[in-house]
Amino acid sequence: MPVDFGLVGAPSAARIVVAMSGGVDSSVAAALASQTGAEVIGVTLQLYDHGEAVKRTGSCCAGQDIYDAKMVADRLGIAHYVLDYESRFRTGVIDRFADEYAMGRTPVPCSLCNQGVKFTDLIAFARELGADCLATGHYVRRVVNGDRVELHKGADPSRDQSYFLYWTTAEQLDFLRFPVGDLPKPEVRRLAAEAGLEVAAKPDSQDICFVPDGDYAGLVKKLRPETAAPGEIVAQDGRVLGEHAGVVHFTVGQRRGIDVGGQAEPLYVVKIEPETRRLVVGPRRALAVSAMRIDELNWLGEQQSAVGAKVRSMAPPVAARIAGDWALFDKPEYGVAPGQAAVFYDGSRLLGGGWIAETVAAEDAEPVALRAMA
């Protein structure tokens, strides 16, 4: 299945670097690159201590995955390099993940990883190798529209990864290629099997890659012990309702784990106050948000006033208006938490996004709207 990599000149004179995580998606990206006739070089990132990594499966950039990437490269007859980025990954992703939890925020480590080691550093390395482009296994589409290059959602909505790539710049997008973005997952697996790749039936990675057993709280407690200190559970009016075993166990919007009985309706985490170790809880309607302030806003496309806003990776975009560094929802939205990414779309096209710095409850939206538009 030929894929157009947008190479200038004869493919035989071109060089494509492929980011290979050891999974089926990036392996098929490498196979499709090989079919162009260009020189292909696979690069895999070592992001963990090797002694720990070799015990890990079901995640990217772990010991078994590095071995799988090498086996695929050997099968395809391409060069393969492993880069040790453990220190960069720890400071740029793992430590920041723990810090966000310690501040009562809900982190999105996949966005941090993509805008750091997986794009910025890999692109720099690929350029050093004299590559014409860097290809990855992300389920997104790079669309050339006249003199503009756009980033669109992946063709398979169940696999779309555009939410995590909002920090991509126009310069990076010029250099990036996403050869599986137009394909559904079953077709990717079929192509892998057809090419004789050992990873054709390999399970997809689960949870956050650097949390071996899905125990996020355990990792954060190890790195930031203060997050495990007990504190009060309080109602929105300040009444003490009970005690929790550490803010590390909670995120905004969570219902599970709030052990407070005798309430008229279920309680949810409305706010986390790490300084006082207080957990503020309330009914579901208290989670309704009408506005959010965005930090580090990046526009890949042109800034628009009316956008589709996505505040969770699997949530559908909802109508919103941009006013400065504020995004105002047309209707109250639930599941919006500081620390998450807010990503903006025009249809399937990714416009940009940033980090949610603060949110405003639905009943307080009008003053914020007026202040933001002043």
Catalytic residue positions? 113, 209
For tokens 């538009």, the residue is 373
Q: Alpha-carbon distance 88 to 70, whole Å? A: 22
For 75, the token pair is 């099968």
CB atoms within 10 A of CB 268: 19
Q: Alpha-carbon distance 59 to 162, whole Å? A: 19
**CB–CB of 273/104 below 8 Å?**
yes
Helix (H, G, I), strand (E, B) or coil at 151: strand
Q: Alpha-carbon distance 114 to 21, whole Å? A: 13
Spatial CA neighbour of 27 closest among 220, 188, 185: 188
**CB–CB of 50/86 below 8 Å?**
no
Helix (H, G, I), strand (E, B) or coil at 16: strand
Q: How far is CA 213 from the centre of its chain?
A: 19
Beginning with the edge strand found earlier in the chain, give each strand of the sheet holding 268-273 in spatial order.
240-244, 231-235, 278-282, 268-273
Q: Alpha-carbon distance 216 to 196, whole Å? A: 36
Q: Alpha-carbon distance 16 to 245, whole Å? A: 51
